[in-house]
Structure 1
């Protein structure tokens, strides 16, 4: 994990000039709060305050970074030496460590610290029904690196970005995916058509209301990002809804800690079966609220339509689970927390499927000329890869 962190988006770069036997080196580090790297969670992209000062704590063998917001971070000398980014220690073309562990001085020291630059990145921003949704031009995102970078940074930070100006015809989500890399294939295909269909194999393929949900919790690794493109809109109804699931999870943690603990500790069964791209029968066990080792919310897994009738938990936990889930769903559904918008033909919404819950109001179906959205999935690995490449191309970040 530690070597991964050194390659993360730069939040403060400093040069650690070590003892006479060591070369000057540039070490890029993320700001992750008042803790050592060994105990730190993986950071979100960017999002730190600026660096105020950096100093070596020789007795503790730590480098201390003080940030403009008053917090500080501690970095062990040995870890810094192990993760030196200079050409002698890192194969730049592969961004891989070339320093042999047998050559690592685990008792290395530090003579002085020089602050080289002070970059400010991104942090996730919570929102509610008053969200001013970030909006971009579809064609500019396709053809301009700065526009594409702004789109992906806003997607990571806010969790939802609206694109306008796409042709009102199928194929646009695939075009947009090529700006990143490639689509994620699922049992519903590379892309899928959200329409009112006879004998629907998914509740989304009806004209009824869709309650707030994340897509595909029936998979152990649900898709990270979702695209939805409006080809045709209903004459009546069909408005879209979105809720910031991370914000709501933190609010639940404050308002009802017991419910938060239950939903983040009990695994719930989800299932999905049918035939589309191919026949399928998938099952998973997921927490409604996933947290990492530090208690930070990392993913929401909730879809009432695919929540299994199997409830694999001790009988004395059943009622507390239902009460906790009810509290969370009621919190999600409060009007002050739900952002509502109406897509028009040519509009395309992109959002974080691990963070947002989305829904739809019922609509009046008119057969062949009824509401039609085309959807697709990507994984965050591919999205973050493109974001880093664009940061380097546009800003020279390494």
Structure 2
């Protein structure tokens, strides 16, 4: 990052233009700069939270003078007649004067979509190592953020060990299923409820709003033949659909599907969200796909319903394509975590003698991202 910048006051002081020596140019509005000041009267020293509201800043705020020094920029604001220093690195990291033309369905630079070719790039770590070493934990969490899932080995084979996984980065999200749920089935069971049938790739709890954003599955027993876990990148599936059928992609983002669960006494959960969810600027931010929980779709106009269903069918076919899936079998003491807003998970059927016992729980992505960001910030300070 250059240590000095050339600065001009423009638009009668309502903005400035910064021409950095490396050729990067940015414009900043005076009101934006004043609102984002880091001086002691604007921000609390301990936590960085604002001490003022926007209404405390004069509506006619403008920059009357600038002074560039090595690594910093000093701006004088009127009518307050206050001079505040800004770090040039911070300004470079927070510039907003950029080309915003992006294709609908773009993804964050922190995200890498994948298919079955992911192979050895699966974020994999030893439970004991990341429990003891913050750097190892940060590396694993970085992989989970990038690929939307991760696997752990070497964990304790004991009841409720999955809570120890969640405590590495956040907190359990309790639902009507409790703090955790049992995925315990037996081959040739006495009750058909304990079945070994396979499950299509899906996201969990699409009938909640908001959905649990993380799911952890932890293996305690797995002596049955088959029963491999599968994960599919819903974002890559959405990208494939967009490439094949832009109109169908648009329909699945523009209209809401409906999801419902009323399988327990006193419980009736419903949500109304698109199967492919975009932010207002077109960023791909979520997938909800679960055939078992999809209610009647009634928010699509008659003239679009046939095309909507064709796109819905094709999305399911892409998700079911074996070239999209990463498959692995958990051993006792192993677990995996998925971003439930992005990565679909499934289970192959199993048969023969033996048993299969997993425990599952939900957590939220904000805790994981917060822990990762704190580790990354500490690493930057130490560098």
Give structure 1 stretches of 5+ with no counterpart: 1-11, 16-52
1:124 equivalent to 2:111? Answer yes
Q: Which moved more, 1:282-291 or 1:78-87?
A: 78-87
- 1:90 is displaced (CA, Å) by 0.6
- 1:54 is displaced (CA, Å) by 6.1
Please give the residue correspondences for 1:198-213 in structure 2 after superposition, counting only pairs within 5 Å.
198=191, 200=193, 206-213=195-202
Please give the residue correspondences for 1:382-397 in structure 2 after superposition, counting only pairs within 5 Å.
382-396=367-381
Q: Which residue of structure 1 aligns with residue 176 of structure 2?
A: 187
Please give the residue correspondences for 1:348-359 in structure 2 after superposition, counting only pairs within 5 Å.
348-359=335-346
**CA separation in 2, counterparts of 1:82 and 1:228?**
44
* Cα contact 1:207–1:365 (8 A) shared by 2: no
Match of 2:323 among 328, 336, 340: 336
* Cα contact 2:171–2:364 (8 A) shared by 1: no
Q: Which residue of structure 2 aligns with residue 26 of structure 1?
A: none
Q: Which residue of structure 2 aligns with residue 137 of structure 1?
A: 126
Q: Which residue of structure 2 aligns with residue 87 of structure 1?
A: 40
Q: Which residue of structure 2 aligns with residue 173 of structure 1?
A: 162
Match of 1:160 among 149, 160, 170: 149
Q: Which residue of structure 1 aligns with residue 100 of structure 2?
A: none
- 1:63 is displaced (CA, Å) by 4.9
Q: Which residue of structure 1 aligns with residue 85 of structure 2?
A: none
Q: Which residue of structure 2 aligns with residue 266 of structure 1?
A: 255
- 1:333 is displaced (CA, Å) by 2.3
Q: Which residue of structure 2 aligns with residue 376 of structure 1?
A: 361
Q: Deviations over 1:188-212 (max 9, x none)?
A: 1111111228464xxxx63211111
How has the CA–CA distance of structure 1 residues 392 and 325 changed in structure 2, closer, same or farther, with 3 Å as cutoff?
Answer: same
- Give 3-state SS (helix, strand or coil) of 1:147's partner: helix
- Give 3-state SS (helix, strand or coil) of 1:357's partner: strand
- 1:271 is displaced (CA, Å) by 1.1
- 1:180 is displaced (CA, Å) by 2.3
- 1:76 is displaced (CA, Å) by 2.9
**CA separation in 1, counterparts of 2:210 and 2:17?**
37
**CA separation in 1, counterparts of 2:341 and 2:333?**
25
- 1:235 is displaced (CA, Å) by 2.5
How has the CA–CA distance of structure 1 residues 363 and 62 changed in structure 2, closer, same or farther, with 3 Å as cutoff?
Answer: farther
Give structure 2 stretches of 5+ with no counterpart: 72-87, 94-107
- Give 3-state SS (helix, strand or coil) of 1:166's partner: coil
* Cα contact 1:183–1:377 (8 A) shared by 2: yes
Higher CA-based Rg: 2
Q: RMSD of the alignment, in Å?
A: 3.0
- Give 3-state SS (helix, strand or coil) of 2:230's partner: strand
Q: Which residue of structure 2 aligns with residue 27 of structure 1?
A: none
**CA separation in 1, counterparts of 2:136 and 2:234?**
26
**CA separation in 1, counterparts of 2:254 and 2:267?**
28
Q: Which residue of structure 2 aligns with residue 22 of structure 1?
A: none
**CA separation in 2, counterparts of 1:103 and 1:316?**
50
How has the CA–CA distance of structure 1 residues 315 and 103 changed in structure 2, closer, same or farther, with 3 Å as cutoff?
Answer: closer
Q: Which residue of structure 1 aligns with residue 78 of structure 2?
A: none
Please give the residue correspondences for 1:315-330 in structure 2 after superposition, counting only pairs within 5 Å.
315-330=302-317
Q: Which residue of structure 1 aligns with residue 68 of structure 2?
A: 112
- 1:62 is displaced (CA, Å) by 4.4
Q: Which residue of structure 1 aligns with residue 135 of structure 2?
A: 146
Q: Which residue of structure 2 aligns with residue 6 of structure 1?
A: none
How has the CA–CA distance of structure 1 residues 97 and 364 changed in structure 2, closer, same or farther, with 3 Å as cutoff?
Answer: same
- 1:170 is displaced (CA, Å) by 2.1
How has the CA–CA distance of structure 1 residues 88 and 361 changed in structure 2, closer, same or farther, with 3 Å as cutoff?
Answer: same
How has the CA–CA distance of structure 1 residues 64 and 315 changed in structure 2, closer, same or farther, with 3 Å as cutoff?
Answer: same
* Cα contact 2:5–2:68 (8 A) shared by 1: no
Match of 1:59 among 3, 7, 10: 10
- 1:289 is displaced (CA, Å) by 0.3
Q: Which residue of structure 2 aligns with residue 360 of structure 1?
A: 347
Match of 1:78 among 31, 36, 51: 31
* Cα contact 1:187–1:279 (8 A) shared by 2: no
